[in-house]
Every structure is written in C-alpha cells, then in structure tokens.
Structure 1
C-alpha cells in the first residue's frame, strides 16, 4: 500500500515537473522536495502501524487486568524484543487466570463449609447490618429466610426470648431454649475483628445438646461409682465394728464397746449426710409459689452471705418458692466468693422484665473457659477438689422447676455472670 501511494505521488511529481517548466526554478525545487517528503512520511507511517496496534492492545489488556478480567491474550507473529514482550505479557495473563481460578475454588469451598456447618454464624458490619448469615443461622434466627442486608437487632427481635436474653447480657456463655424434655442448650460466642479497615462482629451459636447428653451419661456413671465407693467405705467398717462389738459384748469386755459404737454412729451419720445431699438434688419438691418482697428476701439472704444488692424497681415483688430460690442463690453467691472476688464486688442484681424477673449473680473472678462452661451445669461436675458438683445443677433444677432458665456468661473485663430468669 505504501508503494502504491508513493507511485501515485511519483506520478503526481512527474506532472508537477512538467508543470515546473512554466514555474521559476526555486518553485520547482520546492515542489519536488515536498513530493519526496510526503512519500517518505506515508511509507514510515505504514511501517509503524502494526506496532501502534500492538501497543494499543497491550494497554487494553493491562486495563482489563486492572478490572479483574484476565481472559484476554495478544497474537503477534513477529519476533525480536516485541515478540518477547508479547510472550511475557501472555504468560502473565495465564498466571493471573490460574490464580483467579484457584481463588474462586477456595472461596467456593469456604462458602460450602460455612453454609453447611451446624454452628450458626452471623457476620455483622459496623452499622449493625448482617453481612453473612449461614443456613444454621437462618434456621435459628431468620425463620429460614436470608438475613443479609437486615439489621441484626431486627433479626434478633423475632428470635426466642432466651436467645434475646443471652445477647442482652453480653459476653460469651451458655443458655437454654425450650423447657423440660424439649430443650436445646447453646453456647454463644462473640468476637470483633477488622475487615477491610472496618470493625465487624462475628457471632457463633453452637448447639451443645447432644454433646451434653453424652456428658450426662458419663457423669451418671461416675456418680454411681462415687456412691458405690462411699457406701463401701462406710458400710464395711460399720459391719466390721458391729461384729467386733458383738464379740466384745459376748466376752464381757464392755470398756471398749462405747468406742466401737461411737465409730459406728459417726460413719452412719456421715453416710446419712452424704445420701441426703444427693437426695436433695434427685427429689426436689415442686415449688410452692407465693408473693415475695425482694427487699425483705435480700435482707434475709444477707444474714447468710455477703453481697452488694441492686434492685429495679426498688419495691418489686416476685412470685417464687422463697426457700428453694434462697438455697440456689446461697450456692451461687458462695461460688462467687470462692472465685477470689473481693466481698464488695460480689453482686446480686435483680431486674424486672416485661413478663419475668432476671436475677444476676456477678463476680470478678477468672470466669470459665469453654470446656468448663460446657459442663458446669451438669450434676456432679466440679473443678474443686472437694466439690460435690451440685450447686449449679441444683440452681438449674430450681429455675426450671419454676418455669424459668439459667445461663452462664463470662463478663467483659473478667468475671462470671450466672443469670436466672423466673416468671413474674
């Protein structure tokens, strides 16, 4: 094409030369020079046009890479440095495509795992809106519907009251949904972290019902072993001493008989006390519910254990079995003191809710780790060397016998909150 163009210019130049006969010499020279320059410029432009197209293609693919589209490549038949540049550029595109595919596969795997885990997971952004809610969270909190884009407070408003109470109390902990034989036990965990420079909150709700049922079976087996061991430790010496007492009586050695009888009495009373403690838990009577003034109840409770008291409203009247609730709170308050909390920081807080009373026993001890939280409400589970493991379990039985519930939560800043909710 360049040659044709130059030939045309040459012909035009010949015509111009013919014309030059009629022009001054300087004009003819200028005309010839312009013709040759035009031919050279056109030839140069034609020669560089493929490289211009290549550079435009390179700029276009770079822009596509910047936008996350790695599907483009460049075809170039030439060699040399430009050929090497094109080959390197295409190799970069292939590497980026491979990385994008691997990333998509990992994201798909992660999403599959998150969506199908039995743990309810909710991610909340700084404005309080749900960014992610997996299938378990939808079933538990969202009536099976998508939660993304909704405010978490709005989602929580439709949840079970026990779930709402757990979030109101704050911190990590356990709570029960349902009553009696139809109940599920959950562990709540809340963690804050930064995502894309903004603070987000990850909420995890793990169902522990099946796990705790297995733990209960193991606990009852342990209880049977403990009771058998204690009975043997008491009955064996009683039988032996009774036989010895009979022999002493037959021989007329009455001076040693009082010692044997005193030992038999001591072991019998110990066994009686041991069985009574276990029977108190196993045979908890139905609560005798009656109106109780909280101020008077707290004053009576203070004669047995120290605590700071906070009541709202100050003239509140509850309806419960005063003796049973007193026993439960004595156990909880003593546990709070045994946590190492200064006496003036052990607190009993009672709040009136729309249809119930919330009773919180608060301390500033070391709290509980996840394993202890998961087992603390089981009968006979204890982390103390000489503990019976009945205090928290008895409090739970008393709360549920009243139609209420109990939850354990670690407090922000350290310490534990044992929260009982009783019907108003």
Structure 2
C-alpha cells in the first residue's frame, strides 16, 4: 500500500483511466446479454464514470488540502513568519515539492535568525558607542538616536521624532554654528577653564529610496589633551637638547677664557670668543625658527608675477630652472611662499646633491600651480618619507625638524599641499602645490 501511495500523480491518473475504460467495456459486454447493446453501453459508461468520479474526487481532496497548506505557508513567509512546516506522504512527485518547500522555510528561518542576531549586535554597538549618532529623514527629523546622542542633545530623553532645528535651538551656540558652516569640522564648547572639543561629521545616503543624513558627533577633548601633552613633551625635549648643546660649550669656553685671562694667555682668547659667538648665533637661529613656526600669520595674498618671483629666489640661492617659468600672475603671500621655497632649496643643497643638479620647475596643473624643487642627493627611505613633514622630525645632527614642517604649514594655509617623492636615478622631488588664484 505504501508503494501505491507514493506513486506519481500522473501514473495514478493514467491507471484510473485504463481501469475505467476496461471496466466500462467489461460491464457493457455483461449487460448486453440482457438488454440491447446501446443501452448496455450507456449504463456501463454511467456506472464506470460515476465510480471513477468518486475515485478522482477522493484523490484530489488531499491535494486541495496540500495546496491550501502551501498557500498558507507562503502567506506566512510574506508576513515574516517562518515557523510553518508541512508533512506529506502521498504522490512521489509532490513529496519532492513539499520537501523543497520545507527546506526553503528552514533556510529562511536560519537567515532570519542570523539577521536578528546581526541587528542585535549592530544595535548594541550603535547604542553603546561613545560617539553621538543621529539618523535624520528627508524632513530633518530624528529617525534613530543612540544613548550618547540622547545624553548630549536631549539630557537623556528620547530624540526620535524631534526636528534637528529644535535640537539645535536647545544646544550650545557653537554646535549650531558648526552645522551652519556645513560639512565636517571641529568646534569648541565652553570657556577656557571648562572647554570641550568636538568633531562633527555628516554623511548623506539613500535608505529605502529616500535621502537620509547620518550625523556623528565625537568628543575629542581627552584625545587632543593627551596629544597636546605629548607634543609639549617633545618640544621641551628638543629645545632642552639644543639648549644643552649650545650652553654647555659656551659655559665651558667662558670658564676657559677666564683662565686664559688669569694666566695672561691672550693669544688664545679670540678662538674661544669666536666659538662662543658661533654657538650663540646657532642658538639664536634655532629659537628664531621656532618662533617663526609658532607665529605663522594668516597669508596675505597679493598678485605676484611668477617669473619675477623666481628670479628673486635665484638671487638668494643657486638653482637651475627646468623648462620655462610661465609669464603669469598668481595670488599668494610672497613672503611666506618665498620662505617655504628657500627652506626646500636649502634642504636640496644639503642633501648631498651637486649644486648644479638642484633645480626648480613651475607649471600649471588643472586649476592650480605646481612648483617642484629637485635634487640628485641620496633621497629618503620609506620611514623618513612617512615622517619628514612632521614638526621636530629631522635626520640631520643639527637639524631642528622645522624646515619641511614650516613649508607644509605655509602650503596648507594657502589651501594647497606639499608632497615628497624619490626620483628615478636618485634624488628627491618636493612638490609645492598652490591653488590657481589670480
């Protein structure tokens, strides 16, 4: 019986048709001995057809139940309910369909469970991160706010549904000004005694076909304070080193000079005094460089003819010109850019490069200008390239580590940048890029 139950539905229907035809023929032959042939055929057909109708009806009753069950589970899947399963032991071809349907439900349950776990993990991370996070809908209303955002902007109260303007109205004015400027940026809240520094980041993206905005507000006070202390320690260490290197020989030579005077050996005094002067001037230059770096003013742009500017540089330091300097007028602070290029040219001459191999090229790139200072020295390894633009970093024994850092500050103050690249065949290319203001 089990074999008959799992026969494919098509085979069962074919067997029923064959059985119906055979039974109708046999019944017709049997009845024709008592009644006319045509009446026997009609009676046999009606009897066989009625019997077969009952058999077909009973065959399709469980099939209709299966279809209803499949329809119900599909509706449950659509509504997010994957807990349904179907058992079926009839018709071999439909058993495969039911098994495939159950496997689909199992796969959907596992995926749903995985998504729920991932959503729970993500929500836990978002809610417990120290960064304040706000998700705004196209109407600038809060869709999602984490715990840090509620503490920062709502005194711990729920923020969902409130407008950004309402939150900014109750927030410190500095936060409103940071939003008004647009884009990312840093701002300070409080006075000098109780000052907090924040970084604001804003990102736009599409969610469910609608434009949303993600706002990240991060308190940077502790990190910047630690970095400030680290920087001050480094500055003090460098200054102490330079002061000791100069003051120790000065004190020693002053003592020696006093002894020479006491002994009447005046012929050796000029050498001692010259050395004292040299160390004092070195110390003076060192402190002057630090003061210049610390007090770099805002650039005062003015129209500068490039060709005349480059010729003025050549009158102060030796270098060759590659190509032709464009006869253009560019707007920048000539004193600051001159100082930056003099530092770069000085470094090129001190790199071990032949003096005649130190050169400069000036050319236009896109909407800006690129000034390259080139040499044929020893170049820089990867570690030095990564740190060369940092203040106080120097590979020279008597270097202050401020030349490249000052050039970088000047370039960035003009809205430009500076880059270093080793040249093929040896040497270094330092590029100063300035925006093309005229």
Q: CA deviation at 1:251?
A: 5.0
Q: Where in structure 2 are the equivalents of 1:344-363 lying within 5 Å? A: none
Retained in 2: the 8 A contact 1:128–1:152? Answer: yes
User: Do structure 1's residue 385 and structure 2's residue 401 form an aligned pair?
Assistant: yes
2:248 — aligned with what?
Answer: 236
Q: CA deviation at 1:243?
A: 2.6
> In structure 2, do the counterparts of structure 1 residues 69 and 117 end up closer, same or farther at CA, with 3 Å as the change threshold?
same
Partner of 1:73: helix, strand, or coil? coil
Counterpart CA distance in 1 for 2:270 and 2:97 is: 109
User: Do structure 1's residue 168 and structure 2's residue 180 form an aligned pair?
Assistant: yes
> In structure 2, do the counterparts of structure 1 residues 79 and 305 end up closer, same or farther at CA, with 3 Å as the change threshold?
closer
- Superposed CA offset, 1:368-387 (max 9, x none): xxxxxxxxxxxx88999317
Retained in 2: the 8 A contact 1:173–1:410? Answer: no
After TM superposition, the score normalised by the length of structure 1 is 0.57
Which of 96, 101, 107 is residue 113 of structure 2 equivalent to? 101
> In structure 2, do the counterparts of structure 1 residues 85 and 339 end up closer, same or farther at CA, with 3 Å as the change threshold?
farther
Count of residue correspondences: 304
Retained in 2: the 8 A contact 1:172–1:410? Answer: no
Q: In terms of mean alpha carbon deviation, does 59-68 or 111-120 score higher?
A: 59-68
Q: CA deviation at 1:140?
A: 1.0
2:102 — aligned with what?
Answer: 90
Counterpart CA distance in 1 for 2:87 and 2:339 is: 75
> In structure 2, do the counterparts of structure 1 residues 146 and 218 end up closer, same or farther at CA, with 3 Å as the change threshold?
same
Which of 135, 156, 170 is residue 168 of structure 2 equivalent to? 156
Which of 55, 78, 90 is residue 78 of structure 1 equivalent to? 90
Q: CA deviation at 1:130?
A: 2.2
Retained in 2: the 8 A contact 1:381–1:388? Answer: no
2:231 — aligned with what?
Answer: 219
Counterpart CA distance in 1 for 2:66 and 2:335 is: 79
> In structure 2, do the counterparts of structure 1 residues 243 and 388 end up closer, same or farther at CA, with 3 Å as the change threshold?
farther
Q: CA deviation at 1:109?
A: 0.7
Partner of 1:190: helix, strand, or coil? strand
Q: Where in structure 2 are the equivalents of 1:107-256 lying within 5 Å? A: 107-254=119-266
> In structure 2, do the counterparts of structure 1 residues 261 and 25 end up closer, same or farther at CA, with 3 Å as the change threshold?
closer
Q: CA deviation at 1:77?
A: 3.2
Counterpart CA distance in 2 for 1:195 and 1:124 is: 11
CA RMSD of aligned residues (A): 4.9
Retained in 2: the 8 A contact 1:119–1:136? Answer: yes
After TM superposition, the score normalised by the length of structure 2 is 0.56
Retained in 2: the 8 A contact 1:184–1:207? Answer: yes
Question: Which protein has greater RCO, CA pairs closer than 8 Å, 6+ apart?
Answer: 1
1:306 — aligned with what?
Answer: 300
Retained in 2: the 8 A contact 1:174–1:186? Answer: yes
1:5 — aligned with what?
Answer: none
Counterpart CA distance in 2 for 1:183 and 1:141 is: 17
